Amino acid sequence: MDATVVADEVSRTFGPVRAIDRLTLEIPRGVIYGLLGPSGSGKTTFLRMVVGALRPTEGQLLVLGRTMPDREVAARIGYMPQTAALYPDLTLRENLAFFGRIYGLRGRKRLEERVEQLASDLGLLGWVDQQLYRFSVGMLQRASLACALLHQPELLVLDEPTVGLDPVLRRSLWAHFRQLAEQGKTLLISTHTMDEADRCDLLGFLRGGRLLASDTPAALRRQTGQADLEDAFLALAGQPGIPVGEP
């Protein structure tokens, strides 16, 4: 099966700053790929390149087989940016209807079904017809996620999707992510918490724009000899020379 995301020596600079430095990775279909790293390590920059909001300065980045930005592929990606990025003066239903139509979701009935289902999955039932400015941070986060999931995309790119959520909800969201992966969807999720990292199939350690390692959590533990992922990350960060992906 073709990989969903293929990055080959991808770099991105902002003026003198190298936000992503010769990053190479492959994300197969149907997995949850976690991008782990401290803030400022380039997670968001990489995700924005994957969805086509930024162009790589160097290297090649293929998403669903095409170089981004690409309008055909855009319809098959769901993106949840770090901030809610929705219209606060509109209700959740209106926001979803807008993005639904933009992503080519046809038919009022189909749209209504999706809205109801997402609202119930994300614990937002009863808030569907409320304007978003009334929402709390955690609710906005879920509304934003609903927008990304709406059109049932093949690739979901989620930038720290569970920030500000309570543990119960966080758990139910991850169960949902797992379900999506089992349906063959690919998820690219950035995070900086270790318990979430452990739930991913594959994990990329990012620091200073460089990918320190990319492997399964178990392999990363083995490779570094650390039982704890956080220690594993620190061990890798301390020895950037370790060959990536080889135990």
Partner 1 sequence: MSWQRVLALMLRIVRQFRRDRRTLALILVVPVLVLSLIGYIYRGSGEPTRLAVVLESDSPLARQVIALLEETSSLHVTVMEREQALQAVDRREVDGVLVLPSLPVQPGTQPKVELILEGSQPSAAGAVVSAVSRALPLAIIQTMSPSGQAIQIEPRFLHGGPQFDQLDYFAPTFIGFFAFFFVFLLTSVSFLRERLQGSIERLIVSPLDRKEIVLGYMLGFTLFATVQSIVMVIFTVAVLRIHYAGELWLVVFLTFLMTVGAVNLGIFLSAFARTELQVVQFIPIVITPQGLLSGIIWPVDSLPRPLQWLAQILPLTWANEALRAVMIRGEGLDALGLHLAVLVGFAVAMAALAMVTLRREVA
Question: Which residues here bind partner 1, judged by CB under 8 A?
Answer: 48, 51-55, 69, 71-72, 74-75, 77, 79, 81, 83-90, 94, 97-99, 101-104, 106, 131, 147
Please identify which residue in the block is written with the tokens 């197969």: 28
Contact 72, 135 (CB under 8 A): no
Cβ closest to partner 1, residue 89 vs residue 166: 89
Cβ closest to partner 1, residue 34 vs residue 100: 100
> In the complex, what is the shortest distance from the CB of residue 185 to partner 1, in angstroms, rounded to a whole number?
17
Cβ closest to partner 1, residue 103 vs residue 231: 103
Angle, helices 108-121 vs 92-102, to 10°: value is: 120
CA 242 from centroid of its chain's CA atoms: 26
DSSP E strands in the chain: the ranges are 3-14, 17-28, 32-36, 58-63, 66-67, 77-80, 155-159, 186-191, 202-207, 210-215
Angle, helices 167-182 vs 137-149, to 10°: value is: 10
Cβ closest to partner 1, residue 97 vs residue 180: 97
Please identify which residue in the block is written with the tokens 């109801």: 116
> In the complex, what is the shortest distance from the CB of residue 102 to partner 1, in angstroms, rounded to a whole number?
5
> In the complex, what is the shortest distance from the CB of residue 100 to partner 1, in angstroms, rounded to a whole number?
8
Cβ closest to partner 1, residue 91 vs residue 193: 91
> In the complex, what is the shortest distance from the CB of residue 228 to partner 1, in angstroms, rounded to a whole number?
35
Cross-sheet strand order for the sheet of 58-63: 17-28, 3-14, 58-63, 66-67
